[in-house]
Structure 1
Amino acid sequence: MTDAPADADGAHCLPAAPADLDPVRDALVEWYEDDHRDYPWRRTDDPYAILVSEVMSQQTQLDRVVPAWEAFLDEWPTHSDLAAADRADVVSFWSNHSLGYNNRAKYLHEAANQVESEYDGEFPRAPDELQELMGVGPYTANAVASFAFNNGDAVVDTNVKRVLHRAFDVPDDDSAFETSATELMPEGESRVWNNAIMELGGVACGKTPRCDEEACPWREWCHAYETGDFTAPDVPTQPSFEGSRRQMRGRVIRILGEYDELALDALGPRVRVDYGGDTGREWLRGLVDDLAGDGLVDVVDGEPSDEATESGEVAVRLRR
């Protein structure tokens, strides 16, 4: 492996790292390849399967993602199958598997259609090109480029920041993390490297470090291991899901998957048992209007299209 370019003075951008980064890199890759968590998406280089795993993994525990990912690919094995699917079925799947943020299902469906219609059925390979797909931001684009095509940049997520801060005393600054991560990654090895450093952060260098238990490969160089100071950048706290707007949105989608159409006041008590007052009709109308704005439901004023409602009532149905 070859060191990344140093700065003008010949020094690299990792304050507490050794001058020669090759042993550091080799140790991490060997540790990862010797033993790592065997998630099924790590056994494929199919960009579609990897994209699905990345989208599902956003703010969802990986162990919960595995059965949903496998079921999703059983239902729609290729991006062509997904593009041809009814979007309402995709959204219903997402909600039924409690994956949260149902608009991600919509974006994934639209991204599959883009690959078909705009890229002749072939996934773009570079991070910048992948960002042209609906709902694919810089992090997801880089992950797909790395794991599918070995063509990505250094991943910088919360786990990687924690590792760099503790191991090499990189300051808690986004620019410093980007620069340090880029320098540390061996050129042309984004697939194994990004998997390895995220594994290190997830297994050995979590909020509570398990340096010896997980045989961390960087102990001999690690600033935190030497000093005993394992502080790390703040990690945002995920808002409670129970009772949240996200949960209520998911319930609306799930319930509408069971009915062709429901009047607003018939839908409300099914969404929450305390429907009424501050969480009554006005609250529910705001919720379904948001879903309509995301392209997930239709709100029908006036004459309904189904016998489930009476003339003049407001009704809601999944958009198909």
Structure 2
Amino acid sequence: MTDGDTGREEATTDPLPGEVAAVREALVSWYEADHRSFPWRETEEPYEILVSEVMSQQTQLDRVVDAWEDFLDRWPTGAELAAADRADVVAFWSDHSLGYNNRAKYLHEAAQQVREEYDGEFPTTPEELAELMGVGPYTANAVASFAFNNGDAVVDTNVKRVLYRAFEIPDDDSEFERVAAELLPEGQSRVWNNAIMELGGVACGKNPRCDEAGCPWRKWCHAYATGDFTAPDVPTQPEFEGSRRQMRGRVISTLKEYNELGLDELGPRVRVDYAPDGEYGREWLSALLSDLADDGLVTVAERDDTTVARLRS
């Protein structure tokens, strides 16, 4: 039986090499000897790590650094974020081109949950963290791992690519999760999850750099031995310029500056090619505002036969 169109045989036995302890030690030693420096790797504060994880969703890490530092300068603690005006938080998100402004709203709501439901103390387990607004299983596990060393194996696209190439794991989420969990050294989720994601980001990317990056798993890696570096399809980030994400951000930034605008006042400030009856006109802008209203970011009202939009506070 084959795995989809890959031509690989389905795993019927444990695909990991017998020397799992050596595999673990090699990766951790490689990571601890040298790795990319990101400021959130220098903290164990759950609030700071949560901010980094939310910002990093579908955003390149190099772009996140300045935004993360600016955000923490503005709201250094979860309590200060919880007390902030939501419109200010959303406007910050837009001004820093982080995309998907509803993430800013959810982060603000999560900070309020921690204040009101957990007496200001972050929960420590993936299960509890996943109860926070906008925090899915992956983010909850990452925060539990990096803040509390109390997480499960993280499985993101980098990890899937590494496991698929190194140990011929079938392109199946349940198999990736099973093998990732088997590899995770007990009580070491902080260093292990950082290390295996670093391996995927630095040595085993779409264009592998095995020798150049000194990949510690070359001894065991099927792809390295065979030269077959195919990998599961990885969704690509859509272009930001001209995207709906960019236009949503411009709406938020404009309403932050002008407070309240009618469609034909707002439109030209969002798109220079805005024309009331054109492709990017009132109908297009109304749909964009409707999405933002559904996300709880703006309010839209009819006033004197004119549609008026403003940020929701």
Is 1:75 the equivalent of 2:71? no
2-structure distance, mates of 1:278, 1:225: 51
1-structure distance, mates of 2:245, 2:221: 40
Correspondence for 2:203: 204
Unaligned runs of 5+ in 1: 1-10, 303-310
Deviations 1:129-175 (A, max 9, x none): 10100000000000000000001000000000010011111111111
1:180: how far off? 0.4
Correspondence for 2:123: 124
1:17-36 pair list within 5 angstroms: 17-36=16-35
- Provide runs of 4+ in structure 1 moved above 4 Å: 11-14
Q: Normalising by structure 2, report the TM-score.
A: 0.94
Alpha-carbon spacing, 1:31–1:236, altered in 2? closer, same or farther (3 Å): same
SS of aligned partner of 2:207: coil
Deviations 1:233-266 (A, max 9, x none): 1111222222221111111001111112111110
Correspondence for 1:284: 285
- Over the matched positions of the two proteins, sequence identity in percent amounts to 76
Alpha-carbon spacing, 1:12–1:146, altered in 2? closer, same or farther (3 Å): farther
Q: RMSD value over aligned CA atoms?
A: 1.3
Q: Normalising by structure 1, report the TM-score.
A: 0.92
2-structure distance, mates of 1:216, 1:151: 27
1:1-320 pair list within 5 angstroms: 14-15=14-15, 17-276=16-275, 277-302=278-303, 311-320=304-313
Alpha-carbon spacing, 1:271–1:146, altered in 2? closer, same or farther (3 Å): same
Structure 1 range deviating more: 95-104 or 243-252? 243-252
2-structure distance, mates of 1:136, 1:31: 31
Alpha-carbon spacing, 1:282–1:22, altered in 2? closer, same or farther (3 Å): same
Unaligned runs of 5+ in 2: 1-10
SS of aligned partner of 1:257: helix
Give the letter for the 2:297 counterpart: L
1-structure distance, mates of 2:159, 2:22: 19
Equivalent pairs, count = 301
Alpha-carbon spacing, 1:143–1:119, altered in 2? closer, same or farther (3 Å): same
